[in-house]
Chains A and B, each alone.
Chain A
Amino acid sequence: MTEGTVSATFDIYRNDPTSGKAAYYQRFTLDLTPHTPILTALLRIRAELDPSLALKYSCRSAICGSCAMQVNSKSRLACQTQVGPEIERHGRIVLEPMRNQPVVRDLVVDQERFWRDYASIAPHLILDPRHPMPAGHENPMTPEQVERFKETPRCIACAACYSACPAVESDPAFPGPMALAKLYRFVVDPRDSATQDRLARIQPGGLWLCLRCHLCTEACPKDVRPSERIRDLKELAIAAQGATERGSRHAVGFKESVRDRGLLEEMKLARKTYGLAGTLGQLGQGVKIYRKKPEMMRKPHPIEGVEEIEKIYEALDRPEGGSK
């Protein structure tokens, strides 16, 4: 090992689904400076050690969004992640293809579902045909209007969020963090005329399957913060359409159930979310839990100063105009 380098061990996922052979991990060891990007290491492995390694990349500068993969179980861009800290923390670097998308070969995945989910939110401006832009003119926005979605245009569609998302992993009805963050961007764009239609379609269309685990926000190499934009989208959807789904009924029901006593009332919330019939459907499970935890049926004592809670609701829980 030369001075200033580390001996870096890579365990790389290898798989050719067409070969009929099981996937395996192949070990490579290289001497590298600690700040070497993982993509650079991969290109050296391919050039010097195994030309059959399949990977996807282009710009090497965290702009094209091609080289997202799992680095020691975290969703990362290979070009933006350095070797040193990973070796320091884990002693080796395990590289795997992105999750939630089928493997084509080695580190390359099939992104058909990812792009289909993206297309499903109509990711383009829908202008009002009654107010066409005057020929030769731009459609101006104020700095305040742009401020509302300043983060989302940074997205490079690398799918790191999609790979990290447990809702994508568990339910095909969830369109994924990127699609919803992009949807938010069009919903608050003052030039877009389809806001109501977009919100009406997304309430039953998977919005409420977001777990708000923030794994997408950690994975995002561009700080788009999809989980926070999805929260914003939920509030906008409720403001525009009211609580039309179980998820929105739960959010509104939660807010209402705290109003009376200052604390959550579990049974009251269940009734608001599920309705009477739905609550009865949960009876079996309820009884199982009740036997061990009878407090679930109890109305909590109102907190001291509960009248302050009512005043705060009166001041801040008035419906506002939902203009852009």
Chain B
Amino acid sequence: MRIAYYPGCVAQESGKELDMATRWVAKALGIELVEFPSFSCCGSGFMDEANEVLNVALNARNLAIAEKAGLDIMTVCSTCQGMLSLANLRLGDAKVKARVDGALKPLGIEYRGTVKVKHLLRILTEDIGVAAIKARVRRPLDGLKVGAFYGCHLLRPGDEMQWESPEEPHSFEDLLTALGASPVYYRGRVMCCGFPIQFVKEETASRIAGRQIDDAKAHGADAMATPCPLCHISLDSFQNKAAKAAGHPLDMPVFHLPQVVGLALGASPEELGLPRHLVPTDAAIARIRPPAVA
């Protein structure tokens, strides 16, 4: 399949390992990523708090770029997924559409509303399919207990994101099972990572992140995995702060979604950028049982 690849800001900057892993997995599964150096930031759920119409207009421009090329968009970030989907939805309001068109038309940009925005998780589980992925697994993640951590904007508001259950999703766990891992079910998997208020009140954000990591751990997780690089910042880059807030060490390796897929499909930790994580992932990888020799 061919799709417009929308990496988002973090995967192009501090979360480069997400981009590396995405490209590796896409190549392995025959997903052709079409790149557009003209894509702008999605607004990240912050810009629209300052100016919603402006944010919708920037995303209408992003959507128009893909539409002109006749492609749907693939995101690798729960928040990019949410913001681009919301723009599609808000443009259904005639007043919003008129203001956005007023800004875009003089630039020769027109968006007709035909582009679908899909997160990599959805493409893997719906378009490629867990059975097809299972057939490609070269190193089953046997013995690894993984707590999926979805990221709010991929799921909610449920009636606007129009995918799986916003409170009881299962796509990520289905995928983990196909990869040979054991998914861990815990309340925190659909909760917030604390990232949105990391800059507002760090102690509170850290307490929230620590609670979700502790919850995954209490349910037996050796590692967590997330389809959102912002959750990854909160759970990995700032895990030391979460541990301080929790009052005890957490030592929880946190994978990006395509990293767990890549590991199972045979990529090396280096190819997936795993050495870039703040919390080492070696101990989790060491838990993977080598396949029995026939």
Contact = CB atoms under 8 A, between A and B. Distances in A.
A231 B187 CA distance: 25
Interface stretch (A115-123, A188-196, A212-220): A212-220
Contact of B38 (A246, A285, A303): A303
* Chain A: number of interface residues, binned into ranges: 35 or more
B46 A313 contact: no
A246 B46 CA distance: 12
Interface string A126-169: 00000000000000000000000000000000000000001101
A264 B199 contact: no
A177 to B, nearest CB: 13
A284 B115 CA distance: 43
A114 interface: no
A258 B40 contact: yes
Output the residue of B157, B166, B237, B278 with the most chain A CB within 10 A.
B157
B8 to A, nearest CB: 9
A309 B208 contact: no
A288 B241 CA distance: 12
B33 interface: no
B204 A167 contact: yes
A316 B47 contact: no
A264 B204 contact: no
A312 interface: yes
A170 B204 contact: yes
Contact of B201 (A171, A238, A305, A315): A171
A235 B38 contact: no
B194 A304 contact: no
A254 interface: yes
B57 A255 contact: no
Interface in A54-96: 73-74, 89
Output the residue of A209, A217, A252, A258 with the most chain B CB within 10 A.
A258
A289 B200 CA distance: 19
Nearest to A174: B204
Interface string B97-108: 001101110110
B192 A215 contact: yes
Interface string B41-79: 101111111111111011001000000000000000000
Contacts of A214: 152-153, 156-157, 166
A231 B13 contact: no
B200 A212 contact: no
Nearest to B13: A295
B50 A285 contact: no
Interface residues of B, number: 66
Contacts of A289: 14, 237, 278
B167 interface: yes
* Dominant SS among interface residues on chain B: helix
Given A166-B208, A209-B197, A316-B103, A235 B57 contact: no
Nearest to B241: A285
A64 B249 CA distance: 45
B44 to A, nearest CB: 7
Interface in B1-35: 9-10, 12-16
Interface in A253-284: 254-255, 258, 262-264, 266, 270, 273-274
A313 B200 contact: no
B172 interface: no
A75 to B, nearest CB: 9
A170 B45 contact: no
A228 interface: yes
A211 B41 contact: no
A73 B187 CA distance: 7
Interface in A284-323: 285, 288-289, 292-293, 295-296, 298, 300, 303-305, 308-309, 311-313, 315-317
Contact of B103 (A246, A263, A303, A315): A315
B16 A228 contact: no
Interface in A200-253: 208-215, 217-218, 225, 227-228, 231, 234-235, 238, 243, 245-248, 250-252
B123 interface: no
* Dominant SS among interface residues on chain A: helix
Contact of B197 (A215, A228, A247): A247
Contacts of B15: 293
Contacts of B192: 166, 211, 213, 215
B220 interface: no
Contacts of B50: 234-235, 238, 243, 248, 251-252, 254-255
B277 to A, nearest CB: 7
B173 to A, nearest CB: 13
Given A238-B50, A264-B9, A264-B41, A215 B191 contact: yes
B16 A316 contact: no
A245 B194 CA distance: 18
A167 B193 CA distance: 11
A311 B108 CA distance: 12
Interface of A: 73-74, 89, 166-167, 169-171, 208-215, 217-218, 225, 227-228, 231, 234-235, 238, 243, 245-248, 250-252, 254-255, 258, 262-264, 266, 270, 273-274, 285, 288-289, 292-293, 295-296, 298, 300, 303-305, 308-309, 311-313, 315-317
6 contacts: A73-B187, A170-B207, A213-B156, A215-B191, A285-B240, A308-B107
Interface of B: 9-10, 12-16, 37-41, 43-55, 57-58, 61, 99-100, 102-104, 106-107, 109, 152-153, 156-158, 166-168, 187, 190-192, 194, 196-197, 199-201, 204, 207-208, 211, 237-238, 240-241, 275-278
Which are the 4 A-B pairs with shortest beta-carbon distances?
A214-B156, A315-B103, A213-B192, A254-B46
